[in-house]
Structure 1
Amino acid sequence: MKKVFSFLLGLVGITSFATAQTQKAVADKIVGVVGDRIILYSDIKNAIADAARQGNPVPADAECQILEQALVSKLLMLQAEKDSLPVSDEEIEAELDQRIRYFINAYGSQQQLETIAGKTIYQIKDDARESVRENKLAQAMQRKIVESVRITPTEAKAYFDRIPKDSLPFFETEVEIGQIAVFPKASRDLEKYVIDELNNYKKQVEMRITSFDQLAKQYSEDPGSKDRGGQYQINRTEKTWDPAFLSAAFRLKEGEISPVIKSKFGYHIIQMVQRNGDDAIVKHILRVPPVTDAELAAGRSKLDSVRAKLIAGTLDFSTAAGRYSEDEAAKFSGPFITSKTTGSTYLTIDELDKDVVAQLDKLKLGEYSQPINFADERGKKGVRILYLKSRTEPHRMNMRDDYNKIATAALEEKKMQVLDKWMSNRISTHYIMVDPTIGNCQQLEKWKGAAKLATN
C-alpha cells in the first residue's frame, strides 16, 4: 500500500464540512462498502480538495489511493469491533477537539470556521464523531496486528542489499548533540517592575484610555499572538497550555481582565473574549522579567560544577540532564536535540541553531562545551552545556553508518507485508463493493475481486 495521503484518512468526515459549502456541484454516491459500512464519493473529493488547499501534492491517482485506504480502514475497524478493542469516549473527544483547533487555526477563528461550515462547532463535532471513532478503532487494530513484528540484523542487511547501488541516498553530515540548560530567574526588583507595568496596562483598559489589542501589539512579548492583539483559542482540557494560565483564564467572565498571573513563560494579564463550555477565546499580554548578566553568571557557575563532574566521570550525561536541566522539551524527548520534522536525534547542520553550529568545530566526539549563554525560541535567556555524542561524515547509505535507519525502514516494510497478508486473508470474509467507475485503480483489483465473489 502506498503511504501517500495516509494522513487524510483521519480527516475524512471532519474536513468534509469545510469543503461541502464550496463543493455542492459534486454529485454524491456510494463508491465502496465493507460489511455494513459505506464510503461516499463526497468524502474522497473533499479530502483531495482539503489537501490541495493546504498545499499538499495531489497525485494523479489520488482517488484510488484514498478509496483504498478507506476500504482498509473500514476492514480494520470492523475487526476491532469484533475483537472488542477499547477506544474510550475521552480519546474520541480529545481527537475531535484537536482537529477542531487545527481548523480554527487554519481558517483564522471559530466564527470563520462556523461560517464556512454553515454549522456550529458542536454540530461539526457531532457530524464527525462516528468517523473519528471508526478511525481510532482502525488504528488500534493496526497496532495489534503489527505489535509483535521485529526485525533482525540479517533481515536489515537483506533489505539494504535489495536497494540498487545507484539509488542509495546520500546523507550530509549528521550529529547527535545533547544539552543541559538552565534558565536563571530575574531579580525580585525586575519582577516587581514587570508586575507594576502589567497592572498599569489593566488600569488603562478598564479606564478606556486604550484597548487591550493596542497594548498587546505594543508591549506583549509573546511573538505567537502579539500581532493578533494577544488573541488565542484555548481549551480547558488541552495539556499543552500552562495550568496556571488556563486556571486564571477560565475564572473570568466575558470582557473581564485577570489580575497579574505567573506562568512558566513569565507574567500575564488575560482578557476573556468569548467562552463556550471548555472552549474560549482569550487575549493576553505577556511580559518576561529581564535576566541580567549577574544572574547569567550564576547560571554559568552552576553548570561549571556539573561539567566538572561529567569530565571526571562521576556523573553520566543522561543522569546529569535529568537532574539539572530546565529544558522543557527534554522532559518529553530526552536531553538530545531532536529534528522538528522527523523527531530523530540525528540532525543535519541546517537543523541546528547558529549558536550550536558555532560550537561544533570546537568539540571532539564525547566532549562537553564550556557553559555558554543562549536564548531559546521564545527569546528566554539561559545557559547551557553542549555534548557531542556522534558525528557522521557526508556519505552514501551503508550498513556501518546507517544501520538504525536501514533497520527502521526494513521494519516498516515488514509491518506493511504483515498487514497486507492479514487483509488478504480477511477481505473474503466480508461483503465488499467497489464502484467500477472509480478510475483505473490497480491497487483496488483485489477489492474488486472480493466484490465479484460476494455477488456470486
Structure 2
Amino acid sequence: MKKIIMVLAILSLLFLLVSCSALTSGEGSKVLVKTDYGTIEKDDLYKEVISSERGKELIQKLVYMQILKGKYEVSAKEVKQRLDLIKEEAGDKDGFKMFLEKQGFKNENELKDYIKQTIYFFKATTDGVKVSDKEIKDYYEQNKDQYTEVRTSHILVDKESTAKEIEQELKKGTDFAELAKKYSTDKVTGAEGGDLGYLSGGSKEMDPTFLAAAMKLKKDEVSEPVKTMFGYHIIKVTDRKETTLSKVKDQIRETLLGKEAKPVQEILNKLNKEIEIKDDAFKDVFKDVEPQQPKLH
C-alpha cells in the first residue's frame, strides 16, 4: 500500500513531465531550477523519472488509470460507502487517525484517492461476472451470524458440577446477575452481572465455542454449561440485533463478485494491448508479465 501512496503523491509531477511539449516537439528543454553551479531542465527530470523503477510504476499507474476511467465509472457515493466502512471499523476519530498513520496515508483525501483506484480495478477484474439476487439471499442466510450482534452475559466457573448447580438455581428463578456476582470467576464482568456487551457473529476475538453457543440463543434464553479453555460458562442473551438483507445486499454482492474476480495481472496484460508506445524510453514499461506459478517445495 505504501508504494501506491508514494505514487499518488507525485502523479501531478509526472503528468507535467510526460505531457510537456518540449519532449515531443523538439523544442529546447525548459529550465526548472537554476543555481550558481548549473541548471536542472525538464529533460533532466524526465530522464531521472523514466530511468527509475518508481518512475516506471508511476507511468504505468497513469496510463492504466486513464484507460480504466474511460471504460468504467466510479461515483462519489461508491467511494463514500467504502470510506464509511473503514471509519466504522476504526471506531472513532482517534481510531481513524491511527488507521491513516498505520497505513501510510497523509490524510483522508489521499485514502479516498486510493479507494477510488481500488474500485476501478475491482470493476475491471469483475467485468462480466454476474451475481443473482438468489445467490445474495442464499449467502445471507448461510452467513447470518456475520450480520447479527447479540448482547450476552455469562457466569464462568472452574468445575462442571458448579455450573450445573447454578443452572438449577436459574431454573428455580434465581436472578442471573446475582448469581454472576456471587459465583463467576470472571470478576470484571461478574461485578456487572456477567454482562459482556454486544458480540458480533463474525468476531475473531472471542472463543469460537463460546461464540457459536451464544449465537444460537434467542433473546432471554440461557444456555446449558458450555466448556471452553477458560472453564465452564452459562450464557444468557439479553438482546439480539440482526442487520437486514437490504442493508448488506451491496456488500454481499461485492463479496460474491470478488470470489470470481480475474487476477489483476491478467487485466493489466489485457490493457497493455490497448497501449501504443510513442517513445522508445517506454518500450519496456508495458511488457506483459506471466502469472506467477506456485513454488514447489
Structure of greater Rg: 2
Q: Which TM-score bucket, shorter chain as reference?
A: 0.3 to 0.5
Per residue, is there more helix in 1 or in 2?
A: 2
Q: Give the TM-score normalised by the residue count of structure 2.
A: 0.38
Highest relative contact order (Cα 8 Å, sep 6+), 1 or 2? 1
Q: Give the TM-score normalised by the residue count of structure 1.
A: 0.27
